Structure 1
Amino acid sequence: MDGAGAGGTRGAGAGAGRPSPVRARPVQGWEALTASERKVARLIAAGHTNRSAADALVVSPHTVNTHLTAVFRKLSVTSRVQLTHVVLARGDAEREAPVGRLR
């Protein structure tokens, strides 16, 4: 591993001891959503149920519900209809959304 740059001394490289710049994610709004939350938001806005969104993303419905709860909080919406309006207003409801069938 030494040849791969994983030498035995920690923090001996350039910038050692200084924290790397990390861009903080906003707390509210679309930019506050993680990639997974955005996928869930787009699927729900497209008419998927939690179960069909879970099938499309190959995760459990509980995971979708967890993401959806975070999406509602971060976007300050209280219903799927309001979420759909937010997603459609962004104009990118189809972009980045995984292909899945509605059931």
Structure 2
Amino acid sequence: MTSPFCPEGDRGCLRLVLAVPFALLTVIAAFFCRAAVTTHPSGSWDRDAYTGIVLSCVLAIGAAGAAVLLWVLPSVRRVMPVWWVGPVLLIAIIAGARWVTST
């Protein structure tokens, strides 16, 4: 159903405008998740590597959470289907799992 305030022709532009911050947050989350997954401590004494892993996980989960919060807004949900959230949630799950296994 199309409301009179959002003609069907405008949805393409609105989707593009809303996709930019969502995609940027997804890329940021993926970057930090990759950093967390590819960082390997040299031993149990390597506290700097463990700190870097935890920091990368926190930043990945934070960026993914911001993307999900952006998608939860009703105006965004109307033009962006639910599958947009899938990759971000997967990144957050991977970062959370890495965080748990790194300690």
Q: TM-score range by the shorter chain?
A: under 0.3
Greater Rg by CA? 1
Using structure 2 for the length normalisation, give the TM-score: 0.27
